[in-house]
Structure 1
């Protein structure tokens, strides 16, 4: 099993000074993950929200991470493809691939928050199909296949993005928030799949991984696809000195994070444009329930022994890689200490 580091963004009211500190933390934590031998680092794409305030452009941040590291893979988790032209995504990530000497990879997301789509309002309704269609185009562009597109006069011209990437194949994931159809789409397109443990049961994930594997085996060969797909699961992670110490450190920041997450989900408009209305007490209650459930199963929080068991359990249900979500409110010192303990567990994990 591979272990990677996932940034997703802690909550809070931030000013410019604290944003500077957050970027310093990201750089320091990524350099430590590189030195400790973690497989990859992921940064998300988030817009206009409290959670993830410092992540509007994974390509820009990944360029910085590429030149400050030596061996760790540099990935977007995720690029909201309907917000961008695939040609521009190919250009940006080819730059990252060059700066990292061939370590770039990305996960494609459809997007879910309507406010994000002020950047591309005409694409919100059809965002799912836009994302799926864009994967094939991304692969063609990465492989050096010119595509014909209309220019400013409406004339169709053949274009090929520059610079050319170092790696001949772009490692691609498809991000799923839980919809089984998305797991099947990832298999059909022969991408890897990026999911999460939170909000799902072990039984749910076993079924989705089965669907993904079956679809992948049945799909025809596709340009840039590996023979076998990778299942990557995101999980909040902190390895403490013991179980009690770990829970004590994560309880407050995790609850704050989940409270913000619940409130954000409730505020997303439905198809009729109406957003849910929850009282502060309801949000707090749901967040507390989610935290208690998550600490029982799905998170990687606790002593080294407990975290080892949690990782082995994820491997047993078919997970190839865990994206360890570390920046949910812990300070830099705690995150680095947890990463060092986590790195020591790798020798005991399934190959």
Structure 2
């Protein structure tokens, strides 16, 4: 079972400079311990994930302090950016890392993010899916034709050229079944959240993804079936009670930060409904979500329990688990947990 490290912390009590120190230390440990990749997100204008506005910029720093771990974005909100800009940024990181980059494409969710590209919100899904094909062409060395400042169509080839010949891509989903099928049809990997997905739903989504991937066809890569990466909160300790006692408060705060972010998104009906919840209802929601995290689809628990979860995910067709680690724990606690996760992952073949 491949394991990677996923960052997406929400805590506001840690100074940004200290948070970046934590990210560097954890990434170097992941590199040393044999984790497959380190993922950093793209978030804007919110407390939730506040230190991650640019995964390419942070990825460049990570490339300089690691040697083998892959440097990935989970995710690039593609409709916010011109594909030429994305291509140039990630080509720099690819050269700095000697070919270790990859990223997952997100279509975007929060309307406030789109102050960066307000005209791109309504058709953000179509834009993201279209620009995946554009990025692949640009990465392979095919120039693109665009309108310049004088209103003329010009052919451009982004520079620098990437170190590697192919850009590994995923498509991010929060659980929508159609996105799993779209990822298969686009021949990308799928980066999926685990919470809210019960085992039968996850199994169905993976089967639909594999079917769509195989149906899209690729004579250059016969037998390829795509990559399923599942995001899970992760913290391993000796006893269930020790884990529960340690993660209850930070994980509860993490959930509350997410609820606050969702409540501020007035563009989606389900998020507007969340904003109308009373304080008591929000507390009940947080308590319910905490129990779901502890009992389903997470790597929160003892080594034996986490080993069983990894094996179960492997049997369902999951190729990689991206371990959420920065939800309020101290750096030393995260590093100790990574040691255990590395050992457990190595035992689940």
TM-score range, shorter chain: over 0.9
Counterpart CA distance in 2 for 1:223 and 1:155 is 36
> What CA distance in whole angstroms lies between the structure 2 residues aligned with 1:165 and 1:242?
46
How far the C-alpha of 1:225 sits from its partner, in A, is: 10
From the superposition, tell whether residues 226 and 149 of structure 1 become closer, same or farther in structure 2 (CA, over 3 Å): farther
Q: Please give the per-residue CA displacement for 1:261-304, whole angstroms capped at 9, x wherever unaligned.
A: 12322332135899332222221210110110221111101111
The answer on 1:115 being equivalent to 2:92 is no
SS where residue 252 of structure 1 aligns?
Answer: helix
1:298 aligns with 297
RMSD: 1.7
Contact kept in structure 2, 1:266 and 1:278, CA below 8 Å: no
1:46 alignment partner in structure 2: 43
Q: Calculate the TM-score normalised by the size of structure 2.
A: 0.96
Change (3 A) 1:349 1:272: closer
User: Could you say what secondary structure the match of 1:106 adopts?
Assistant: strand
Distance 1:214-1:253 versus aligned 2 partners, 3 A rule: same
Structure 2 counterpart of 1:249 = 246
**Could you tell me which residue of structure 2 aligns to residue 213 of structure 1?**
210
Q: Deviations over 1:149-170 (max 9, x none)?
A: 1111111111111101111000
Match of 2:326 in 1: 327
Match of 1:6 in 2: 6
Determine whether 1:198 maps to 2:232. no
Q: Matched residues in 2 for 1:91 and 1:9: separation?
A: 27
So what's the TM-score if we normalise by structure 1?
A: 0.95
Which stretches in structure 1 are left out of the alignment for 5+ residues? none
Taking a change above 3 Å as real, the CA distance of residues 193 and 52 of structure 1, as seen in their structure-2 partners, is: same
| Corresponding position of 2:164 | 167
Aligned pairs, number: 347
For structure 2, which runs of at least 5 residues remain unmatched after alignment?
none
3-state SS, counterpart of residue 272 of structure 2: coil
Alignment deviations for residues 97-131 of structure 1 (CA, whole Å, 9 cap, x no partner):
00000000000000000000000000000000000
**Secondary structure in 2 aligned to 1:3?**
strand
Q: For the Cα contact (< 8 Å) 2:294–2:300, is it kept in 1?
A: yes
Deviations 1:20-72 (A, max 9, x none): 11000000000011011100000000001111010000000000000110000
Kindly state the Cα deviation for residue 260 of structure 1 after the two structures are TM-superposed: 1.5
Q: Does the residue aligned with 2:190 lie in a helix, a strand or coil?
A: strand
Give, in angstroms, the shift of residue 200 of structure 1.
1.6
